[in-house]
Amino acid sequence: MPWTPMRRTDQDPKFEWNPALPVDARADEVWHNGRYQCLVKYVKSKQCPEGSRKDLLHLSIHAQDRGPMRNWRHLQQIKNEVAGELRTAVEIFPPEDKLTDTANEFHLWVLPEDVDLGFGLGDDPLVSTDAMVEQFNDEGHQGKQEPWEEGLTTGRTKHSEKGRENLENLGLSSRPPRIKEI
């Protein structure tokens, strides 16, 4: 099934808020497509005490059927469509004494566009093309890359063009890039 874009809607009738939750714990926006639902909460901070779409966002994402899910490209696509391509999102793996694990749900915290964490995968992005993925997978390497899924735009926008060009310029069309050790 090809990807269909997330769209903002009124609250999904299948999703009912727990009436015991305080009003400020409820979502500010609800987005969904045929596969996922994303609840958006504007996080209040010292810089923006009222909370707004321009401040820190909390995205709570789950599959429509509430089953297990984990596809990095889908999470990236949801972040791009709901919060924007030029914003960084982080996922937290907490210490066990702060663990919350009650549902097949993923939480991303989306930073304002101009926030740089100071760490990441570097300033030289690398994004494979469809032909590179096919060639790499056909050559019998131990690692495999998923083919690009119809409808996904992640890695295919003007903002990721530099990553595609970098990989082509390095001549890495048939082998994976080496990760620089820190």
Q: Is residue 50 part of a domain?
A: yes
Q: Are residues 11 and 58 in the same domain?
A: yes
Decide if pLDDT at 174 tops 50. Answer: no
Q: How confident is the model at residue 74 (pLDDT cuts 50, 70, 90)?
A: very high
Q: Could you give the percent of the chain with pLDDT greater than 70?
A: 84
Q: Are residues 87 and 136 in the same domain?
A: no
Domain boundary (82, 110, 138) is at 110
CA-closest candidate to residue 88, choices 79, 96, 98: 79
Q: Are residues 104 and 151 in the same domain?
A: no
* The predicted structure's pLDDT at residue 110: 95
Q: Are residues 45 and 98 in the same domain?
A: yes
Cβ 32 vs Cβ 66: under 8 Å: no
Work out the burial of residue 24: count CB atoms within 10 Å of its CB; fewer than 13 is exposed, 13-18 middle, 19 or more buried: exposed
Q: Are residues 38 and 82 in the same domain?
A: yes
Q: How confident is the model at residue 15 (pLDDT cuts 50, 70, 90)?
A: low
Which 8-state DSSP code applies to residue 25? G
* The predicted structure's pLDDT at residue 45: 75
Mean pLDDT of the chain: 83
Q: Are residues 72 and 132 in the same domain?
A: no
Q: Amino acid identity of 147?
A: P
d(CA 12, CA 124): 40
- Listed in sequence order, the DSSP H helices in 128-179 are 130-138, 161-169
Decide if pLDDT at 32 tops 80. Answer: yes
Q: What's the total number of domains in the chain?
A: 2
Q: Are residues 127 and 90 in the same domain?
A: no
**88-114: per-residue pLDDT in tens?**
999 999 999 998 888 889 999 999 888
Domain boundary (53, 80, 110) is at 110
d(CA 41, CA 174): 42
Q: Could you give the percent of the chain with pLDDT greater than 90?
A: 38
Domain boundary (110, 135, 169) is at 110
- Mean pLDDT, residues 29-43 taken together: 93
**126-166: per-residue pLDDT in tens?**
888 888 888 888 887 777 888 888 899 988 899 989 888 88
Domain of residue 177, residue span: 121-182
Q: Are residues 150 and 92 in the same domain?
A: no
Q: Is residue 115 part of a domain?
A: no
Q: What angle do CA 67, 71, 121 make, to 5 degrees?
A: 145
d(CA 20, CA 92): 26
Q: Is residue 2 part of a domain?
A: no
